[in-house]
Amino acid sequence: MFREKVLEKSFLLIALSSISILALIAFFIFQQGIPLMWKVGPNSFLLGDRWFPSKESFGIFPMIVGSFWVTLGSLVVGVPLGVACAIFLCELTPPAIAMVLRPMIQLLAAIPSVIYGFWGLIVLVPIIRDSLGGPGLSILAGSLVLGIMILPTIISIAEDSLRALPRSYKEGALSLGATHWQTIWRVLLPAARSGIASSVILGMGRAIGETMAMIMILGNAAQMPHSILDSARTLTTNIGIEMGYASGDHRQALFATGVVLFFIIMALNSLALFLSRRRRA
C-alpha cells in the first residue's frame, strides 16, 4: 500500500513537468527581456519604428507589422484551402480514399520548415520577381509558403469538428430536400463553426511562430513594409537572424521580442482552448 502511494505521488510529480516547463520558459524569457523593455520604455519598444541595435535603438513596430501581414496573408491562403480540404475528406470522398489521403496531409506537417523555406526560395521567389517585380523575397512569397505550412493544422482540426457533428443534422437537412452542398454550406459548416474557428486560431499561432522558412523567403529588411511585394521582418525572424551574434542589450532586446511573441501566442492559445471547451460543453 505504501508503495502504491509513493508511485501515485511520483506520477503526480512527473505530470506537473509540462506546466513547470511552461513556467520556466516564461520566467527565463521574461527575466532576460523585461528589464530592457523597461529601460527602453514599453512604448518606444513596441511602437518605435527604428531598429538599429548598434545605436541602441530598439523599436520592434516594423516586425509587429511584418508578422501581422505575413500571418494575415497566410490565413487568406490557408483557411479557404484548409476548410475545403476538410470538407473534401469528410463529405466528398469515400472513407477508403480519405484514409489514404489523411496520412499524406499529415506528411505536410512533418516536412521540416527549412525545406518549405528552400522551396519558397528557389520556386516562388523567382516567379514573383519575374512576374510581379520587386525583390521576390517578399510578404507575398512568405504568405504563400506559410499558408501551405498551416494547412495540416487547419485541416485536421476542422475535419474533427465536422466529424463530431451528430449524423441527424445531415440526415435532417437531406430529408427536407436540401442538396448535399446546401447541407454542407447551410447546416454542417455553421454547426461546426467554433471548431473551425479554433482551427484557424491554432493555424494563426503556427504562422506567427514560424521562423526558419520565413528567414529564407522574407528578405529580412528591418523596415516598415509598404506593399506585399516588399521584403519584411517578423518577430520570430528578428530573433532567429540576430541571436547568433547578439550580446548585451542587443541580446536582451531579442529576448524582449520573445516576450511580445510569447504574449501573442498565449492569447491565441487561450482563445482556441476557450472555443474548443465551449464546443465540448
Residues 142-161 that bind other proteins (CB under 8 A): 148, 151
Q: What angle do CA 78, 84, 87 make, to 5 degrees?
A: 140
Q: Does 112 bind other proteins (CB under 8 A)?
A: yes
Q: Residue 72 Cβ, how far from other proteins at the closest point, in Å?
A: 17
Burial class (CB in 10 A: 0-12, 13-18, 19+), 145: buried
Nearer to other proteins, 190 or 226 (CB): 190
* Contact positions with other proteins (CB under 8 A) in 237-256: 239-240, 243-244, 254-255
Nearer to other proteins, 65 or 148 (CB): 148
Q: Give yes or no for a contact between 158 and 199, defined as CB atoms under 8 angstroms apart.
A: yes
Rg (CA), the chain: 22
CB of 226 to other proteins, least distance (A): 25
Q: Does the footprint of other proteins cover residue 52 (CB under 8 A)?
A: no
Q: Is 267 in the site for other proteins (CB under 8 A)?
A: no
Look-up of cell digits 469538428: 161
Nearer to other proteins, 84 or 164 (CB): 84
Which residues between 161 and 220 bind other proteins (CB under 8 A)? 179-182, 184-185, 202, 205-206, 208-212, 215-216
The residues in 69-98 that bind other proteins, with binding defined as CB under 8 A, are 80-81, 84-85, 87-89, 92-93
* Whether the Cβ atoms of residue 50 and residue 59 lie closer than 8 Å to each other: yes
Q: 147 near 78, Cβ under 8 Å?
A: yes
Binding mask 115-144 for other proteins (x = CB under 8 A): xxxxx-xxx---------------------
Q: Which listed residue (108, 165, 174, 224) binds other proteins by CB under 8 A? A: 108
Number of chain residues interacting with other proteins (CB under 8 A): 85
Q: Are 86 and 154 in contact (CB under 8 A)?
A: yes
Write the CB contacts of 22 (distance below 8 Å, at least 6 apart in sequence).
none
Q: Which is nearer to other proteins, 38 or 185 (CB)?
A: 185
All cell numbers assigned to 163: 466529424
Site for other proteins in 19-38 (CB under 8 A): 19-22, 24-25, 28-29, 32
Shortest distance, position 151 Cβ to other proteins, whole Å: 6
Strand partners, 52: 57
Cell for 53?
Answer: 541595435
Residues 158, 83 contacting (CB under 8 angstroms): yes
HSE (side-chain half, CA atoms, 13 Å) at 8: 5
